[in-house]
Amino acid sequence: MTLIKSISGIRGTIGGLQGDNLTPLDAVKYAAAYGSWVRQQRNKENYKIVVGRDARISGNMVQQLVMNTLVGMGIDIVDLNLSTTPTVEMAVTMEHADGGIILTASHNPKQWNALKLLNNKGEFLNATAGQEILDLAEGGTIEFAEVDQLGKITNNDAYIDLHIDEILDLPLVNVNAIKKANFKVVVDGVNSTGGIAIPLLLEALGVHPVKLYCTPNGEFPHNPEPLREHLGDLMKLVKEERADFGIVVDPDVDRLAFVDENGEMFGEEYTLVAVADYVLRNNPGNTVSNMSSSRALRDVTEKYGGTYTASAVGEVNVVAMMKEKNAVIGGEGNGGIIYPELHYGRDSLVGVALFLSHLAEEKISVSELRSTYTSYFMSKKKIELTPELDVDGILEKIASKYASEEITTIDGVKIDFAENWVHLRKSNTEPIIRIYTEAKSQEEADALADRFIQEIEILK
């Protein structure tokens, strides 16, 4: 059982001992610290925070604890109930709220949950703000409201519809072309809120959705990380239904992957590449993705005369770099699309709409679209951490060993070889070391990852 406290939020497993897991006491503790931080940002009489959750089993319990802790601090709550991470992000700005909390452990299994924390722009907190909240939780003075100043909870179930309306109004979302194409698409909602939001979006675009695991009960039918090895049912149903393609999202709908009309993976890394290709064709400019993302985005960006930049891993780091470089599209290679024209957050809904627009305008199949991009192959592996493991020391030794290569150390260690690369980093969300590699063949990528796993094992 685990509790991970980081700038990415508070993430842990349900049950067990306080301080070791995400227990009710821990949920209250960190919600109170966040509420106190929100009140420190601006001196005003009334504060408002938007709260939403994915469909995981513990969600309602954790949400009630979090909301009522904030109510006890005199903060008003807009309760979105079942929602998506990008929807909550957009609701913060639409409500002119002081912050937001999404209760989701993203792609983690059902025993996990988390508090993902937003600022008043509906964006994830930077490292400084995250540390301030951790400090408040561990030793700060937190003041609660007197009885006449308690906050109020207002329910609002309209925001998924409002989110979709905003997407339909985007100039690059070609609603007419999509409707004329008469697409049929299978949706794997992993029994979470993607099973609500994605079919609603498709129906608004005139697309016929075939629902697979779209009951939002939190009983994940497979590992919720949208990787090939977890998506056999989706790949099979796309072929059986003779669908144009398949869509899968993670439980909070900020990661997006596609399956082509033949039931083959489009490639999680190529979600961003394909959407960026469409955006850049219509609006040339710069792009950003994190250091663990494919070189294919750089290729597409340079084709349209733009500049590609790699950031440290983490949505907040990608967003900061996108603002600095004035990027027109960006995101993460795990299927995260950030389209600033809508908002600065990973958003599977806008990714689906732009991808459909791309297909409809080009009048080609998903497999044909994939064949237009340079093929890079990635391997994503991990090593479980043990308490005695000196990760920083291991990474320093590897960086020293390969000092003659192109080394980047802003986030773990990335080694760029001439024909491939490897990125080693400690996860912010799980007790693991991530080993990402990319090469010109899957065999080469896997072999490179295995080689570095062996090197780490030797150094342990």
DSSP 242-305: T-SEEEEE-TTS--EEEE-TTS-B--HHHHHHHHHHHHHHHS--EEEEETTS-THHHHHHHHTT
Show Cβ contacts of residue 129 under 8 Å, excluding neighbours closer than 6 positions: 7, 37, 119
**How far is the C-alpha of 120 from the C-alpha of 147, rounded, in Å?**
26
Q: How many CB atoms lie within 10 A of CB 411?
A: 20
Tell me, rounded to whole angstroms, the distance of Cα 209 from its chain centroid. Answer: 23
Order of strands across the sheet that contains 308-311 = 308-311, 286-290, 327-332, 336-338
> What's the CA gap between 324 and 334, in Å, rounded?
22
| Strand bridging mode 377-384 / 432-439 | antiparallel
Q: Which two structure tokens, joined as six digits, stand for 267?
A: 């490639």
Structure tokens belonging to residue 190: 């992993």
Encoded tokens for 20: 């070791």
Listed in sequence order, the residues at least 6 apart from 250 whose beta carbon sits closer than 8 Å to its beta carbon are 106, 107, 190, 192, 194, 224, 225, 226
CA distances from 288 to 229, 253, 284, 302 (A): 28, 20, 13, 12
Cα–Cα distance measured from residue 449 to residue 442, given in angstroms and rounded to the nearest whole number: 11
The residues that are catalytic are: 106
- Which amino acid type is present at position 306? G
Listing DSSP states for 135-187 in one string gives: HHHHH-------GGG---EEE---HHHHHHHHHHTSTT--HHHHHHHT-EEEE
- Residue 432's CB is within 10 A of a number of other CB atoms, namely 15
Task: Give the phi and the psi of residue 287 in degrees, each rounded to 5.
Answer: -135, 160
Residue 143 burial by CB count (10 A; 0-12/13-18/19+): exposed, middle or buried? exposed
What would you report as the CA-atom Rg of the chain, rounded to the nearest whole angstrom?
A: 22
Q: Give CA–CA dist 41/110, Å, rounded.
A: 34
The whole-angstrom separation of Cα 447 and Cα 420 is 11
Q: β-pairing, 421-426 with 413-416?
A: antiparallel
